[in-house]
Homo-oligomer: A and B are copies of this chain.
């Protein structure tokens, strides 16, 4: 078996860069909440029990990064809400992977929430797929290929 699936010895690592944005505990939880449909400061604050100053900071950073968009939903008492951008929505595999892993290894009994394919209501799978072979496969069948630096 090949344990070098994620081998990346030299280059600027995308994992590292991604973690620089969403690699702290609160950011991920804020994003989980936005995926769940929460959009307003106080909704999220109450749900997470996060200190206001920290939430304020995280939201600002996520907006600056382009993951969330701030959008005014009423003018008179000026009120904003936070919505996922496309960049933000594409974080979903990370959250789904975290959730599945937590379900399998940390949760006693049945998972509290199951994600399903909205078209049919059946539980979704998250997996690796080869569009060439038209097969799904697991982590042990991954290899890595590095960009040639010399050219």
Contact = CB atoms under 8 A, between A and B. Distances in A.
A5 B36 CA distance: 7
The 10 A-B pairs of least Cβ separation, nearest first, read: A14-B102, A11-B112, A18-B102, A122-B132, A92-B139, A117-B130, A93-B97, A6-B35, A118-B143, A94-B97
27 contacts: A3-B35, A3-B36, A4-B37, A8-B112, A12-B107, A13-B112, A16-B32, A17-B106, A18-B106, A19-B28, A21-B106, A24-B24, A36-B144, A93-B101, A111-B147, A114-B146, A115-B143, A117-B132, A117-B133, A117-B142, A118-B142, A120-B130, A122-B130, A122-B131, A124-B137, A126-B128, A127-B129
Contacts of A146: 112-114
Nearest to A33: B7
B128 A117 contact: yes
B89 A94 contact: no
A38 interface: yes
